[in-house]
Amino acid sequence: MESINAKYVSQKISKTRWKPVSHSTLQQPEIFATGSWDNEENKISLWSIGNHENVAMDDGNEGDPQVLCEHKHDGDVLDLQTLSVSQHWARAHRYPCDSAPCTSVVCSSPEIVTVGEDGRIVVFRADHEGVVQTIENADSSTIHAVTYLRTTEILTVNSIGQLKMWDLRQHSKSPSQIFSLSGDRVPLHCVDRHPNQQHIVATGGQDGMLCVWDVRQGNSPFSLMEAHSAEMWEVHFHPTNPDHMFTCSEDGSLLHWETSSQSDLPSFLQGNRNNSMISRSAMPSAGGNQSIISAWLSGDSSKSRLETTHMLPSQTLSVNSLDVLGHYLVCGTDGEAIFVHRQIPV
Amino acid sequence: MEEVDVEPVITNIPAASHDKHLGFAWGPGDILVYETLYKASGSKRSPCTFIHEVRKDEDIYSPILRKLFNESHHIFVGLQTIGEDLPSKSKKPQFVSVSKNYRSVIRACMEELQQVAVSTKDSKLATEYGNQVSILLAIELIWNLCEVLFIDAAPAGSLLLHLLDWIRLHRADVDEKARDVLQSESPAEHCDYWDVVVSYVLQGRLEEARQMLVKQAMLHPASRNMYKLMDSLLSKMPFYKPGGTQPLAEFDVKWRHWHDEVDRCLQDGSFASNQHLELICKILVGDEDTLLTQKELLSTWYHFLVTRLLFCHPTVKATELHFYAQSCLTMFLDPRSTPEPLDSILLAAFEIDIHQVIKDCSIALNNWWFVAHITDLLDHCKLLKSHNLHFGSNLREFLLLEYASGLFTHHSLWQLAVDYFDHCSEFGRVYLELLIERVPLDTERKALKVLRICEQRQMSEQVRSICKIMAMRTLRNNRLGSALSWSIRAKDAALATLISERFLQDYCERGTFSDLDLIDNLGSAMLLSDRLTFLGKYREFHKLYGEKRFREAATLLLSLMTAKIAPRSFWMTLLTDALPLLEQKEVIFTANQTYELMYCLEELTSSLNTTAPSKDKPMQEDEVEKTKVELLRLAMARNLAIAIVKEGTVET
């Protein structure tokens, strides 16, 4: 595991995010941001892993993440997303809505959506002073995470195990659709959407269960997989190679999920084909030809291979956050360590 | 009462002057000190309103030492899982490697502290860091010695090699000096040249000493033979090879042979013309007086000890060490000076007195980190005799508990302490139970983490209290939905009743339900409390009504009253809800159901009448109530009539 780099940072890490790079330049990511929690003084820090010329400069500990800058943050950092570095700070201080902790934030330039423990959804614009839109009492319980489904639709998960879809254009107080696990109300903690096939959504819950949903049909999850033994804090599809997925959990593990469909086609080709087929014919997945359905929705685990591998050496304290970009993965733990993996096999 | 080992340290509380009276309360790690209201007659001074927190252990607040705590936590947890079933022989290498891991963590921490100490501009901070470095240095020194003597417990022969490694590791300043010398233009004429050579010899690094000597020999072609002789003496010195086939006795014979040869060279004055070479020769022969002249280079008595063993008793056994150690200490130190704590700790280690080492360290060091971890490791090696404490269960557990409760007072490191408590079989759980309830819960995420810790350990009492705290907090913020789901998680019927009550109250005021997404999905959790069941069922009635499934709605409504699920105070509302159903064109309530409905109404009104009509109720409200009852009676009578007719009619 020599491609994994661990660094102890003297603060419990609640979030880690890569600074996005443009895909066209084939650049490797080198800057990531972390947020800490439970400290008397919490910080957002930007780190560089220095892949290029500056490796020569820090002799001895090459590749060790170096702090670029730090910024104090009132209260625990619960979520952060980076648009660009300049906008980062200004927004960081706008989260707290009514002193109720804000739990998650998502942005799709220039709009920013935040959700909080007060069950409220607030929409900001990066270039705008005030609040653009607020949905009061959007949820009776805490909203744990939010993600964009399409440009005007967002998905939220809450602490009573529901996945809700909201259409921001409609300005209505109720969600356009509610999905839920049958009956047991296990809180959901994270949600992520398939990068190419927007109807595929993955969520992770308190019992460590990974659910894959097809938001076009049905209101119960398409497949359920036992992943972790404790709360799953984050789930992420690989942004460019969505056959891979990563999850991290309170039990201190970080899993790499890989589906491979039977088709011999390289997965990216297949992914493209899926998209076009489905958009043209809106084919129902049940009974349809297996090979054109995304591996995540094939459901039958015997037919599509789903492999999981542990990514971290034995680790006892919670892995709170992860982010993946290209061949690079970064995660932060309650053990006050940041792990950077440089060669994830995707 | 037991004697105190050392005089207690006095801490001055800055704000409390001498004529004030202080009270205090123990905390797990800290002490709270406050001024008590003790007024001598006549004094009118108002007492100070501050409470002072006296921290015993400042170290856990150091950002760099936090890395030490975090990394060692990981090693600690790994150590606890080393299989019990393995034979003790195969475990030893594992324990040694665990010990090395601990030491490398200390080293890493020390290096970082050193860097910071050098780079910081604040002189006060720099000295603070410097102090921490020297403490860590001492800790590492002691740990390393304990590793050699107790954990590894090397047999005679290899024992000395380990001790040499120990000295070399902690006297690395020679290498720095050597680098300076070698980088100078003419190393052989550098002022530190001979210091370096002698230091190398004193540390038994003969190969390096020889390489240095070559440079000198080249400068003095005249005394070439003398240098050649020294070179051969140095190269011939036998070292024990651990793991080899060579028996110890054979090595001993070889070594004696070499020793005699060196002695012969000294006697016949082969090096008489060169004082430096003669000095080295005297060191090689193990001459104690000569060694004592090199105090500057040896700098510590334990270096002297190891050098003396190297050149006089290379086959020393661990059990014999204490004798040499004691004599070296007395020979080396100024008779007037008293030994430092470090000296007595090391001496105790050489005497293989583990308990004394732990005790002295606990007194001398300002934090529990070291003693807790080394005691745990030694306990795993089965080296601690059952030592009766007058308190707690055993030494290991006592120290671990002290360390962990210190961690728990930290705002962020408390999570580490949990695992330490887990591995204290006797009192760990009690400690954890008491402390975990006191973790401040700022966010839901933190609450979830604390809950997970409790749930994994089946601490149901604590789970309930945490959920309750969260429920009350959300309730205060008027987040009924959240509060309800927390109280369901706490399985707290009383609280659920209270919150359901609030929901119903809200409904009565506004006429609509809030938080439908939760209430509609209660499922079996509904059975937690009667009131919650009623809330869920009542909402179900509204749903059925909304879906125009009137018959089912009516049955449900009636059963809510007859099965006594609905609280009596809510009956009037339920009956009012029945009104539109009674007024429907179609017959919804059967005759029997209507009878029951009427019975309910009568029961309600009679109970209302028996309780004396409250005077403070305005007349108007009473009137409204009366009209309502009248209306209901009328509607019921009408419905009954239609129902009887309908039920009596045979459809053709």
Dump pLDDT digits (tens) for B637-652: 888 888 888 888 776 5
Tell me the average pLDDT across B20-49: 70
Residue B37 has pLDDT above 80, yes or no: no
Instruction: Please state the domain extents for chain B.
Output: 167-316, 568-610+618-652
| B485 contacts in chain A (CB < 8 Å) | 140-141, 159-160, 185
Question: Under a CB-based contact definition with an 8 Å cutoff, are residues A97 and A123 in contact?
Answer: no
Q: Give A 102-121 residues with CB within 8 A of chain B.
A: 103, 117-119
Find which of A9, A14, A15, A38 to mutate to test the B interface (most B CBs within 10 Å of its CB).
A38
Residue of chain A minimizing CA distance to B473: A100
pLDDT of amino acid B307:
92
Q: Count CA atoms within 13 Å of residue A147 on its CB side.
A: 20
Antiparallel, parallel or unpaired: β A131-135 and A162-167: unpaired
A165 touches B: beta carbon within 8 Å: no
Q: B449 vs A250: CB contact, 8 Å cut-off?
A: yes
| Interchain proximity A139–B70, CB inside 8 Å | no
| CA–CA distance, B398 with B391 (Å, rounded to integer) | 8
Q: Which chain B positions have a beta carbon within 8 Å of A177's beta carbon? A: none
Residue B610's pLDDT is 55
| Residues on chain B touching A184 (C-beta within 8 angstroms) | 523
* Residue B73, phi then psi, degrees to nearest 5: -60, -45
pLDDT at position B383, please?
83
Instruction: Give the closest-approach CA distance of B551 to chain A in angstroms.
Output: 26
Confidence category of residue B29, pLDDT binned at 50, 70, 90: low
Query: pLDDT tens digits, residue range B194-246?
Result: 889 999 999 989 999 999 888 888 888 888 888 888 999 899 888 888 777 77
A321 sits in which H/E element: strand A319-325
Taking CB atoms and an 8 Å limit, are B452 and A230 in contact across chains?
yes
Place of tokens 């400068």: B219
Percent of chain B exceeding pLDDT 90 equals 17
CB contact residues (below 8 A), chain A span 80-99, against chain B: none
Residue B118 has pLDDT above 80, yes or no: yes
CA distance A25 to chain B (A): 38
B402, pLDDT greater than 70: yes
Interface check for B527 against chain A (CB to CB < 8 A): the answer is no
Res. B392 pLDDT band, cuts 50 70 90: low
Residue B139 burial (C-beta neighbours within 10 Å; 0-12, 13-18, 19+) = buried
Is residue A316, in this structure, part of any structural domain at all?
yes
Task: Sort out which chain A residues have CB atoms less than 8 A from B518's CB and list them.
Answer: 140-141, 160
User: Residue B445 pLDDT > 60, yes or no?
Assistant: yes
Among the partner residues B445, B449, B481, nearest to A141 by beta-carbon distance: B481
Cβ pair B485:A160 closer than 8 A: yes
Mean predicted lDDT score pLDDT of chain B: 84
> Order of strands across the sheet with A143-148?
A143-148, A153-158, A162-167, A177-180
Question: What confidence score (pLDDT) does residue A266 get?
Answer: 36
Per-residue pLDDT of chain A in tens (346 residues, 90 and over written 9): 457 788 888 888 888 877 777 665 556 777 777 777 877 777 777 777 764 433 333 333 333 344 445 555 444 444 444 333 333 333 333 333 334 566 666 666 667 787 777 777 878 776 666 677 878 777 888 888 888 888 888 888 888 888 888 888 887 778 888 888 766 678 888 898 888 888 888 999 888 888 888 888 777 777 888 888 888 998 988 888 888 889 999 988 888 888 765 443 333 333 333 333 333 333 333 333 333 455 666 554 444 567 788 878 777 788 988 888 888 888 888 888 888 888 887 7
Q: What is the pLDDT of residue A108?
A: 62
- Residue B620 pLDDT more than 80? no
**What is d(CA A293, CA A277) in angstroms, rounded to the nearest whole number?**
10
**Residue B213 tokens, joined:** 């000597």
Query: Do B67 and A336 count as a contact with CB atoms less than 8 A apart?
Result: yes
Q: Which residue of A has its CA nearest to B456?
A: A230
Chain B contacts in chain A segment 274-293 (CB below 8 A): none
What ipTM score was computed for the predicted complex, to two decimals? Answer: 0.80
A5 shares contact with chain B (CB less than 8 Å): no
- Per DSSP, B147 falls in state I
A269-293 burial by CB neighbour count: b if 16+ within 10 A, else e?
A: ebbeebeeebeeeeeebeeeebebb
Instruction: Give domain status of residue A142, yes or no.
Output: yes
Chain B residues with CB under 8 Å of A39 CB are: 411-412
Q: Which of B535, B468, B538 is nearest to B502 (CA)?
A: B535
Banded pLDDT at B90 (limits 50, 70, 90): confident
- Closest partner residue to A119 (CB to CB) among B446, B479, B523 is B479
B269 part of contact set with chain A, CB < 8 Å: no
The structure tokens 């045979």 sit at: B650
Calculate mean pLDDT across residues B453-459: 90
Determine the residue of chain B that is closest to A318 in CA distance. B449
> Which candidate from B70, B412, B481 shows the least CB-CB separation from A8?
B70
Would you state the pLDDT for residue A97?
Answer: 35
Report pLDDT for A63. Answer: 34
Q: How far are the Cα atoms of B71, B117, B133, B136 from residue B109, in angstroms, in the given order? A: 10, 12, 9, 8
Q: Which residue has the higher pLDDT, B415 or B8?
A: B415
Q: What's the distance, CA A233 to chain centroid?
A: 9
Q: Domain holding A91: CATH number?
A: 2.130.10.10
Domain that holds residue A312: 4-278+290-341
Residue A203 resides in a domain: yes
Is residue B596 exposed (0-12), middle (13-18) or buried (19+ Cβ within 10 Å)? middle
Taking CA–CA distances from A180, the nearest residue in chain B reads B521
* Chain B residues with CB-CB distance to A162 below 8 A: 517, 521
Closest CA to B345 of B334, B337, B335, B353: B353
Q: List pLDDT tens digits, range B355-388.
A: 899 988 988 887 789 999 999 999 888 887 766 6
B64 contacts in A (CB within 8 Å)? Answer: 10
CA distance A141 to A158: 6
The number of domains in chain A is: 1
CB contact under 8 A, B415 and A141: no
**Who among A10, A118, A335 is closest to B64 (CB)?**
A10
Residues of B in contact with A314 (CB under 8 A): 78
* Residues in chain B closer than 8 A to A231 (CB atoms): 448, 452
Nearest-neighbour CA in chain A from B422: distance (Å): 13
